[in-house]
Amino acid sequence: MPEAIIETRGLTKNFRGFTAINNISIRIESGTIHALIGANGAGKTTCFNLLTKFLEPSAGSILYQGRDITRLKPDQVARLGMVRSFQISAVFGHLSALENVKLALQRQRGESYDFWASHHRLDHHRERAMALLVDVGLEPWADTAAAELPYGRKRALELATTLALEPEVMLLDEPLAGMGTEDVGRTAELIRRVAEGRSVLMVEHNLGVVAELCDRITVLARGEVLVEGDYATVSRDPRVIESYIGGARHD
């Protein structure tokens, strides 16, 4: 069996008596793009927040590269290489795209803003930041204030600031939400590109993109794993079809 980069065992989350996640065990294989899908209220966000350490589980454990990270804090798991996009990578609207990525690079190295920082180091950050902007197709926008970027480009900038942290696993929460068709296609392509050499876990409602992009899919229903597999397997499972009737968003 391929190596698991993230694994949950009996993961459970109760909210004052209501079980939002019930005893789920999932495996995210190293080097894959893995989607978490399910009808509204299935538990995707709760599961995502448990994996990224924004919520404490009521029971069960989470392993990252075989190591138990159940009790670690979000910044500790980020330092291990498991980074939630839009987590540490808040984008500052008044700063240019380039400055935002430079700042993310500085933070990645634990440097505080230093007026006297050597030119050599700052030049190095500039070059690396520019390369990351090129990677996400933002080169022409390098000097544009983040607040002025079109929506889809802003998400691309967030991906660049996440990439600055050199993650091994990127966790993306609805990366295509709110995008028009053109942005969806370009961002999906971008995710495919940045996924090379790393693993990605994403919560996503757009099933067309999930079908195109994701190697593995976990379908949640009422806080439990309904089925896990590739798109062909998952999409013809009668339980999945049934759980989606009336529940899924068809966007």
Ligand X SMILES: Nc1ncnc2c1ncn2[C@@H]1O[C@H](COP(=O)(O)OP(=O)(O)OP(=O)(O)O)[C@@H](O)[C@H]1O
The binding site for ligand X (CB under 6 A) comprises 15, 18, 20, 38, 40-46
If the CB atoms of residues 102 and 216 are measured against ligand X, the closer one turns out to be 216
If the CB atoms of residues 157 and 203 are measured against ligand X, the closer one turns out to be 203
If the CB atoms of residues 19 and 30 are measured against ligand X, the closer one turns out to be 19
Give me the least distance between CB of 29 and ligand X, in Å please: 22
Q: Which amino acid is at 117?
A: A
234 torsion bin: left (phi>0), alpha (psi -120 to 50), beta (else): alpha
If the CB atoms of residues 52 and 100 are measured against ligand X, the closer one turns out to be 52
Give me the least distance between CB of 43 and ligand X, in Å please: 4
If the CB atoms of residues 146 and 220 are measured against ligand X, the closer one turns out to be 220
Give me the least distance between CB of 48 and ligand X, in Å please: 7
Give me the least distance between CB of 99 and ligand X, in Å please: 33
Contact between residue 220 and residue 45 where contact means Cβ atoms under 8 Å apart: no
Give me the least distance between CB of 65 and ligand X, in Å please: 25
